[in-house]
Amino acid sequence: MRPSARRPDQLRPLRFTPGFTTQAEGSVLAEFGETRVLCTASVEERVPPFLRGRAQGWITAEYGMLPRATGERTPREAGRGKQGGRTLEIQRLIGRSLRAAADLTQLGERTITLDCDVIQADGGTRTAAISGAWIALRIAIQGLVASGKLPQSPLKRQIAAVSVGVYAATPVLDLDYAEDSSAETDMNVVMTDAGGLIEVQGTAEAAPFSRVEMNAMLDLAAHGIEQIIAAQRAVFSE
Amino acid sequence: MRPSARRPDQLRPLRFTPGFTTQAEGSVLAEFGETRVLCTASVEERVPPFLRGRAQGWITAEYGMLPRATGERTPREAGRGKQGGRTLEIQRLIGRSLRAAADLTQLGERTITLDCDVIQADGGTRTAAISGAWIALRIAIQGLVASGKLPQSPLKRQIAAVSVGVYAATPVLDLDYAEDSSAETDMNVVMTDAGGLIEVQGTAEAAPFSRVEMNAMLDLAAHGIEQIIAAQRAVFSE
Amino acid sequence: MRPSARRPDQLRPLRFTPGFTTQAEGSVLAEFGETRVLCTASVEERVPPFLRGRAQGWITAEYGMLPRATGERTPREAGRGKQGGRTLEIQRLIGRSLRAAADLTQLGERTITLDCDVIQADGGTRTAAISGAWIALRIAIQGLVASGKLPQSPLKRQIAAVSVGVYAATPVLDLDYAEDSSAETDMNVVMTDAGGLIEVQGTAEAAPFSRVEMNAMLDLAAHGIEQIIAAQRAVFSE
Amino acid sequence: MRPSARRPDQLRPLRFTPGFTTQAEGSVLAEFGETRVLCTASVEERVPPFLRGRAQGWITAEYGMLPRATGERTPREAGRGKQGGRTLEIQRLIGRSLRAAADLTQLGERTITLDCDVIQADGGTRTAAISGAWIALRIAIQGLVASGKLPQSPLKRQIAAVSVGVYAATPVLDLDYAEDSSAETDMNVVMTDAGGLIEVQGTAEAAPFSRVEMNAMLDLAAHGIEQIIAAQRAVFSE
Amino acid sequence: MRPSARRPDQLRPLRFTPGFTTQAEGSVLAEFGETRVLCTASVEERVPPFLRGRAQGWITAEYGMLPRATGERTPREAGRGKQGGRTLEIQRLIGRSLRAAADLTQLGERTITLDCDVIQADGGTRTAAISGAWIALRIAIQGLVASGKLPQSPLKRQIAAVSVGVYAATPVLDLDYAEDSSAETDMNVVMTDAGGLIEVQGTAEAAPFSRVEMNAMLDLAAHGIEQIIAAQRAVFSE
Amino acid sequence: MRPSARRPDQLRPLRFTPGFTTQAEGSVLAEFGETRVLCTASVEERVPPFLRGRAQGWITAEYGMLPRATGERTPREAGRGKQGGRTLEIQRLIGRSLRAAADLTQLGERTITLDCDVIQADGGTRTAAISGAWIALRIAIQGLVASGKLPQSPLKRQIAAVSVGVYAATPVLDLDYAEDSSAETDMNVVMTDAGGLIEVQGTAEAAPFSRVEMNAMLDLAAHGIEQIIAAQRAVFSE
């Protein structure tokens, strides 16, 4: 039995609220159960130094957690003077995943920054961030196309992400904090709407995992991502 | 005529949403028009080194702004490696104001940290933060009393804050960003429910201001704070 | 009775020593009793990035305190790796005040930096810094005019500053450290020679203050600043 | 055809030189072709603050790259004032992997730090670091057992790591820099001598990868790790 | 001919003003011509962690330069977020030299920090700092003895320092900035009143120097230090 | 008797291994007994900002120590967020010494960076670094000449360095860690092949040293450097 009484293959209630804030070119509040991540997309008409003059754009991400998004207060990274290893690892993952969704040569010499800020954390913040960031990115790109700044969308794939794991010897989908903190294995999976794998990051927490378990987790991830993909689409068909 | 078509003595629509997040001991979303600040109160059973063994508690504040709370993206302070002067100045102001509301010797050897994070900025974020933080603080203290950790509330005053200024030669209440960025004078005022002054910070932006203008601004502030005080009370009477 | 046996409306002995150091374009040692601040003005023929190509100049300030300016040694900020919130707050205040004294569009594309370094601290360092920095600024500008780099002075106002407060239930002028550390209210006021207000920063330390007390403090400040303005003028008439 | 003319399932020449330096409790130079990583294990008789009094030990890792380990000089992280995201990500991976190899409750209240410094980089530095660090760790633990500080070894598993990828549409083992920089997919795999998975980190660089490709890569990894495990064992049987 | 028209073996006018500031346990303004360094000694009743429980004290130094001590403004180290290599090198030199003057085991478990802040720089700031710091140290130690905190002075040697160099092919004593910036060789020498060498730091700036030149410089240094030693003594005999 | 049983004027076994790593334009492993320093020279076709447009090149050095190069693990400077004073002092010394060996106006607008990383430390790391860096520099410059980027070598002097000291009242050459940590005096000397002095840095550790001791140490240094110069030459004659 999962702490949340969900079935092993059951996602938490999923909600995307586009336009949650109004200043950014794209904005969405992504909620996976009690996990809430605000994703905004900011368009800037310049590229980082290493890309200047290369006739292409850039997509990057930053991740943050409000100090009291967690059960105990986490010291503010701005006050400590640096971003921790976990933060840097997560924002590198989000950025890579989003870049895999677009053709940067069709973006023009501009940068889109996806800021993913965790308002409340209950496990799976990085996968919620990726799933939400794709929506914010698409909203921003639609704006660029609508305003004539881009002739067509450089988005080439839809992507979404979910966490899976082995909890109490059972492969489960979309772990909340109670499961995540005592899971034997933890895996984050990013996939496209066509079922292609973009990122797989699996970690044995308590014991090594087998190829059989890995396959079961990947099956669960594919099953969950299919539903997240549908929920992302619903945002745009409304 | 104000850009928002408000009367000179008119506040923006004001809303306090207690319990906006659930992990903190106290939490409220404070909205002054389009300005939205999430205030949380975190209780920790220790005091900073300089207060150890002095049989008193501590109240402190931290302030942050999500990168895309503003019209143009503001670089993330955690990534730049330090908090800017404006951030430090604001969180010092919030902390001082909240400490003036409580008797720290009745708090026990514990620290309450008020995190004020700006989700969306449209002027007046620091005064919204103070007004919201007082609510979060009271919720947290009620919890300490309810759980028996404190025999009685160390809160001795209700405080709230508002910005006033001189815009187009007219003293006005509760400036939004459009007014704030072209005001001749800008003043932040923190007051108690009994009408006492806690903080007054006035700055001539374009031209020096007179004692007459100063008095007009303080009158407006008192008028506005009275309404904010009422709205704070309504949170607890519901 | 004040610890220094001064009358409530009495300034400490005031002394400005222009040319205290010789390398800077402008230099003055400002002494308010035992408080001693060295103010230098440095002219650089460039503006910060955000002002490039805007046909205007910039005036900015930096503030520091020697480690043993105080009764107990304060750790050196250069060694700690960052300037504290108090330092940043003060240097922002000095810079804003001095910019209010000049027409930046008449300064040309150059920056004048006012470095205010506290050699000895006995209360009121920030207001001594502002009062001294105005002198250093005027000396530097006179040099620019004398050398033909500027056709006329961009200085449009004379400014000075003083601290006031409520000590032992009495409004008093120009607090020294003994008063400052136990005052009920502390207020810093910056004014022009024409009596206009530039900055008012009042803080309730022990109890809220009233409008009546605020007015009494502002009256004292106006009275003190008048004398400081005269002392500044004397530097240039000698 | 691979740039190095190796078969798809062929490792680079592999060499472990134990005792490469003499000050550390364990030391080995790990060479995978031209990639050379110096791994040292340092034993300290204390644990980090979060583990004090819990009757267990800690294993952690740090990773660094000499500035000219690479084809173009990389700025020294010590000079830049912080470790980059890639460095932090890698040292977190090494630390997690090594902790999975040991029973920390049998280590006593001591810390073993694995320093993995890249002398020369030609792809696969993090997997070479993990494979070498296990040897350095075992040497250090043997010393603790030999000196009577530990009654028995807390090492419970042998682990090793290798990189795999898809290059020119073919799954390949142990990518060098020429392959790594133009691979379609890149995956790092950490496994035990019993074939259990410890870490799987796969990233689509140019195009999504399929479950079929993933399985092919995992097969190659298992094949390669088997040989590395044998080479590690040979160090101890000599 | 030297730019200052001094003879090769002639010091600049030398002045020590004890008690220049009043908060520190020891204070002196050291002037070598236009070079002015404020040296203060601060006594703290604790030792750094590495000396705790060793029944000895510690003497250390910090060095700083006001931004406009120099002909062009030097950016403030506190603002840049770190002390530069030159600063660290100089304060290590001052600290080592002063420790050589005292018997730390007779100092008790306390730390004396010598802060040497350059008010105005015209060459030779580090040697002026050492010569002045010895005076500040002795004043502070006399206070400890006078107050009964120490039974006797732990000072065992008198030390002073001076710079020498080769300028225009001639060995010269006590270089000012005009000489220092175009000298062929620059050497800083710290000696005791008994003529023993404490530190010798010589650097070829334009061309290698010979043993003959080195000896000539050391003779000049001994000659100059003798006079500085006398001037230090005069401070205490007055 | 020296701990190593060497004669007072005897160097440790000396070995230079050119080409120890292959990516850099110049590379050598310098070994003085158990002290091992990897020196690489990196050529970059740009100069630092302060030299732009001056038709000259730049030579600079960086120094680092692997955490476990020492008997006890030294915390990694990259992790601590800054280079220590000792590191900065050493890399400034190496850079100055190497610049004295070359005519920078003949180098073209390029920078050569000497990275000196201590693999294992047993005393004398800075002098081993200088001696090795000269070899790496010469290899890199030979490459620039061979490829036609430079018409002739800008190297004008051969330099090498050694440490000397007074140990157990006897002047000794090339101190190892056992001697260095209990020497009365420690001196580092950099000289040219023509016997000119480039740097002399002598420090009294336990007691002042005399001119007689200083001369004895300089004689020993000259004797040792002569042999190091010969070993450097042998690298190029092979």
Long-range pairs, D147-156, Cβ under 8 A, ≥24: D149/D108, D150/D106, D150/D107, D150/D108, D152/D106, D153/D106, D154/D57, D154/D102, D154/D103, D154/D104, D154/D105, D154/D106, D154/D107, D155/D101, D155/D102, D156/D101, D156/D102, D156/D103
Nearest to F73 among D38, D42, D64 (CB): D42
Q: Which residue of E has its CA nearest to C74?
A: E42
Q: Which residue of A has its CA nearest to B117?
A: A66
Residue numbers in F near D44 (CB within 8 A): 73
- Of D159, D157, D177, D158, the C-alpha closest to D167 is D177
Which tokens go with E12? 């600049």
Chains contacting D (3+ CB pairs below 8 angstroms): A, F
Residue C87 annotated as part of some ligand binding site: no
As separate numbers, helices (DSSP H) first and strands (DSSP E) second, chain D gives 5, 9
Nearest to D197 among A84, A86, A202 (CB): A202
Q: Which of F63, F88, F130 to mutate to test the interface with E (most CBs of E within 10 A)?
A: F88
pLDDT at E185: 96
- Of F210, F211, F209, F187, the C-alpha closest to F200 is F187
Stretch F113-131: mean pLDDT, rounded? 98
Contact (CB<8Å) C191/B201:
no
Contact (CB<8Å) E68/C27:
yes
Closest Cα in chain A, distance from residue B183 (Å): 22
Interatomic CA distance for residues E13 and B95, integer angstroms:
52
Percent above pLDDT 70 for chain C: 100
Q: Which residue of B has its CA nearest to A112?
A: B73
State the pLDDT confidence band at A46, using cuts at 50, 70 and 90: very high
Closest Cα in chain A, distance from residue B230 (Å): 27
| E197: number of Cβ within 10 Å | 22
Which phi and psi angles does C159 have, rounded to 5°?
A: -130, 155
Residue numbers in E near C64 (CB within 8 A): 66, 76, 78
Q: Which of D60, D156, D198 to mutate to test the interface with A (most CBs of A within 10 A)?
A: D198
Cβ partners under 8 Å of residue F92, min gap 6: E85, E86, E89
Chains contacting F (3+ CB pairs below 8 angstroms): D, E
Residue numbers in B near C126 (CB within 8 A): none
Closest Cα in chain B, distance from residue C141 (Å): 21
Q: With a cut of 70, which residues of chain B have pLDDT below it?
A: none
Q: Are the beta carbons of E44 and E109 closer than 8 angstroms?
A: no
Output b/e per residue, E85-103; b: 16+ Cβ within 10 A: bebbbbbbbbbbbbbbbbe
Interatomic CA distance for residues B64 and A59, integer angstroms:
24
The binding site of E for phosphate comprises 86, 124-126
Q: Which residue of D has its CA nearest to A159?
A: D208
Closest Cα in chain F, distance from residue E49 (Å): 16
Closest Cα in chain A, distance from residue D224 (Å): 16
pLDDT at D147: 97
Residue numbers in E near F197 (CB within 8 A): 202, 204, 208-211, 214
Residue numbers in C near B218 (CB within 8 A): 211, 214
Per residue in F70-96, pLDDT (tens digit) is 999 999 999 998 999 999 999 999 999
Per residue in C191-213, pLDDT (tens digit) is 999 999 999 999 998 899 999 99
Interatomic CA distance for residues E64 and D23, integer angstroms:
38
Residue numbers in E near F88 (CB within 8 A): 84-85, 88-89
Each residue's pLDDT tens digit in chain D (238 positions)?
Answer: 899 999 999 999 999 999 999 999 999 999 999 999 999 999 999 999 999 999 999 999 999 999 999 999 999 999 998 999 999 999 999 999 999 999 999 999 999 999 999 999 999 999 999 999 999 999 999 999 999 999 999 999 999 999 999 999 999 999 999 999 999 999 999 999 999 999 999 999 889 999 999 999 999 999 999 999 999 999 999 7
Interatomic CA distance for residues E129 and C156, integer angstroms:
42
Q: Which residue of B has its CA nearest to A77?
A: B78
Dihedral, D74, D80, D86, D90 alpha carbons, nearest 10: 100
Which tokens go with D59? 């294993």
Contact (CB<8Å) A77/B81:
no
| B74: number of Cβ within 10 Å | 17
Contact (CB<8Å) B96/C191:
no
Contact (CB<8Å) C197/B218:
no
pLDDT at A54: 93
Q: Which residue of E has its CA nearest to F191?
A: E208
Residue C132 annotated as part of some ligand binding site: no
Please give the interface size between B and C, counted as residue pairs whose CB atoms are below 8 Å apart.
86
Cβ partners under 8 Å of residue F196, min gap 6: E204, E207, E208, E209, E210, F157
Please give the interface size between E and F, counted as residue pairs whose CB atoms are below 8 Å apart.
86
Specify the DSSP element, H or E, that contains D90.
helix D85-99
Percent above pLDDT 70 for chain A: 100
Percent above pLDDT 90 for chain A: 97
Question: Cα separations (Å) of A42 from A17, A27, B109, E139?
Answer: 17, 9, 44, 61
Q: Is the confidence at residue C1, as pLDDT, over 90?
A: no
Dihedral, D179, D183, D189, D195 alpha carbons, nearest 10: -80
The binding site of A comprises 86, 124-126
Q: Is the confidence at residue C126, as pLDDT, over 90?
A: yes
Residue numbers in B near A79 (CB within 8 A): 62, 83
Residues of C at the E interface, defined by Cβ within 8 angstroms: 21-24, 27, 34, 36, 38, 40, 42, 44, 62, 64, 66-71, 73, 76-79, 81-83, 87, 113, 115, 117, 119-121
Stretch A12-33: mean pLDDT, rounded? 98
Interatomic CA distance for residues B224 and C4, integer angstroms:
41
Interatomic CA distance for residues E202 and E211, integer angstroms:
12
Provide the 8-state DSSP code for A69.
S
pLDDT at C65: 98
What rounded mean pLDDT belongs to chain F?
97
Residue with tokens 């660029």: A144
pLDDT at D1: 85
Per residue in C80-92, pLDDT (tens digit) is 989 999 999 999 9
Contact (CB<8Å) C44/E73:
yes
Residue numbers in E near F86 (CB within 8 A): 92
Percent above pLDDT 70 for chain F: 100
Contact (CB<8Å) B89/C88:
yes
Interatomic CA distance for residues F161 and F131, integer angstroms:
6
Nearest to F81 among D22, D70, D82 (CB): D82
Percent above pLDDT 90 for chain E: 97
Hey, is C122 helix, strand or coil? coil
| A6: number of Cβ within 10 Å | 17
Per residue in E183-234, pLDDT (tens digit) is 999 999 999 999 999 999 999 988 999 999 999 999 999 999 999 999 999 9
Residue numbers in C near E76 (CB within 8 A): 62, 64, 78, 115
Nearest to B67 among A34, A62, A71 (CB): A62
Contact (CB<8Å) A218/D198:
no
State the pLDDT confidence band at E238, using cuts at 50, 70 and 90: confident
Per residue in F168-224, pLDDT (tens digit) is 999 999 999 999 999 999 999 999 999 999 999 999 988 999 999 999 999 999 999
pLDDT at E203: 97
Contact (CB<8Å) A208/D192:
yes
Nearest to B23 among A22, A23, A68 (CB): A68
Q: Are the beta carbons of B34 and B122 closer than 8 angstroms?
A: yes
Contact (CB<8Å) F85/E82:
no
Residue numbers in D near F21 (CB within 8 A): 36, 68-69, 119-120
Which tokens go with D174? 């142990």
